Amino acid sequence: MHTMLKDCCTTTEDLGCVCHCGTVDTGQVAALTGDYTIEEALNSGVALFTLALVATDPIKFTSPFNENQTVIFKVKDPAGNYVGDCYQVRTEVCLDQGDAVKVA
């Protein structure tokens, strides 16, 4: 895990498990209209994903994360401010989008 992003976390909200292509819901609502940036901590740096939202939209997205991993990420609003602190989600293989299945 990229330590610079992880070290910037004061608190990390655990969002539980999702299917690797399931919906990640931060529980936050967009305060501004525009592009929000998802910053994923990687061993080699930070991966960036963009999410277009309208003010009052829930900040949730289809997981771009690989399966069978624990991901730490941050969300940055269009003004460049972080929404909340850090979030953690675990991704798992799913037989269908409703059922997470642990693989040994």
Model confidence pTM above 0.85: no
Can you give the pLDDT at residue 28? 96
Tokens linked to 13: 């909200």
Q: Does some domain include residue 12?
A: yes
What is the C-alpha to C-alpha distance for residues 33 and 83, in angstroms, rounded to an integer? Answer: 13
Give the tens place of pLDDT for each residue, 42-97.
877 888 999 999 999 999 999 988 889 999 999 999 999 999 999 999 999 887 55
Q: Does some domain include residue 71?
A: yes
Range of the domain at 71: 3-95
What is the C-alpha to C-alpha distance for residues 1 and 96, in angstroms, rounded to an integer? Answer: 28
CA atoms within 13 A on the CB side of 66: 7
Can you give the pLDDT at residue 2? 43
Q: Could you tell me if 23 and 63 are in contact, meaning their C-beta atoms sit under 8 angstroms apart?
A: yes
Q: Does some domain include residue 104?
A: no
Mean pLDDT of 10-34: 93
Can you give the pLDDT at residue 98? 52
Give me the number of domains the chain comprises: 1
Q: CATH number of the domain that 86 lies in?
A: 2.60.40
